[in-house]
Amino acid sequence: MRLDGVSAIITGGASGLGRAVAERFIAEGARVVVLDRSEARVAELTAQHRSRLVGVVGDVRDLTAHRRAVDRAVAEFGHLDVLVANAGIWDYGCSLADLPDDRIDAAFDELIGINVKGYLLAAKAAQRALVASRGTMIFTVSNAGFYPDGGGPLYTASKHAVVGLVRQLAFECAPYVRVNGVAPGAISSDLRGPSSLDMANRSIGDVLKPEMMLGKMPIDRLPTPEDYAAAFVFLAAAKESGQATGSIINIDGGFAARGVARPRGGDRLGEDETIR
């Protein structure tokens, strides 16, 4: 799938999954605007890709930051075809019982503000340009948008909200703009947590280790961000995915295919050669 001539915005695109998507888009021929709050990472990525990538530093909770990104895409590339709303934070599975009473308000506002409001504002800023180009929005969801225990109540609530946002905006933006999502599972990346819970310096890559996946999922290896990037390319490619809207690609290692007692049984054929 090629994205020649496609212009895209990717929020949270300077690290982790967002960076993998940005680099895959560029490899497929797209030109990209990355909106990210890390000035250093934006500068590094811009220097690496030069004419193919424009960096905008800003907070996804700020509508003006998204509008600056849209304006740069249109000014530099002539149009905007794809919005990838991806920036997010994780709550490290912090349970309701463990949420400190005096931090609930701040933690809720921070996590929902980034994971949900950030997507809504991105869509608001990009909608008019995407209508003009008959473009598409792609939201990063999570297995936590469908199942429990992919995070704590704050993160799980935020990703369930993103599922609803995908479906509502697919309805509202039809027929000119397609709106879809990608729901990754576990990932080895630099995903951080809310500063309000003292988790801003923690990385999900420090918590999830490859050995933790063994025997837990039908596909029991720990994916890298690059493992998920092709799903975003598919949804961005209008020729290949033109009939998809309101859809979410679950690419999560098989959460829905786990058994009650164990994740799989087919591998026993390799252990017992007498089975025919």
- By annotation, the residues acting in catalysis are 155
Buried b (16+ CB within 10 A) or exposed e, 129-151: bbeebebbbbbbbbbbbbbeebb
DSSP string, the chain: ---TT-EEEEETTTSHHHHHHHHHHHHTT-EEEEEES-HHHHHHHHHHHGGGEEEEE--TT-HHHHHHHHHHHHHHHS---EEEE------TT--TTTS-GGGHHHHHHHHHIIIIIHHHHHHHHHHHHHHHHT-EEEEE--GGGTSTTSS-HHHHHHHHHHHHHHHHHHHHHTTT-EEEEEEE-S--S-----GGGT-TT--HHHH--GGGGTTTSSS-S---THHHHHHHHHHH-HHHHTT--S-EEEESSSGGG--SS-S--TTHHHH-TT--
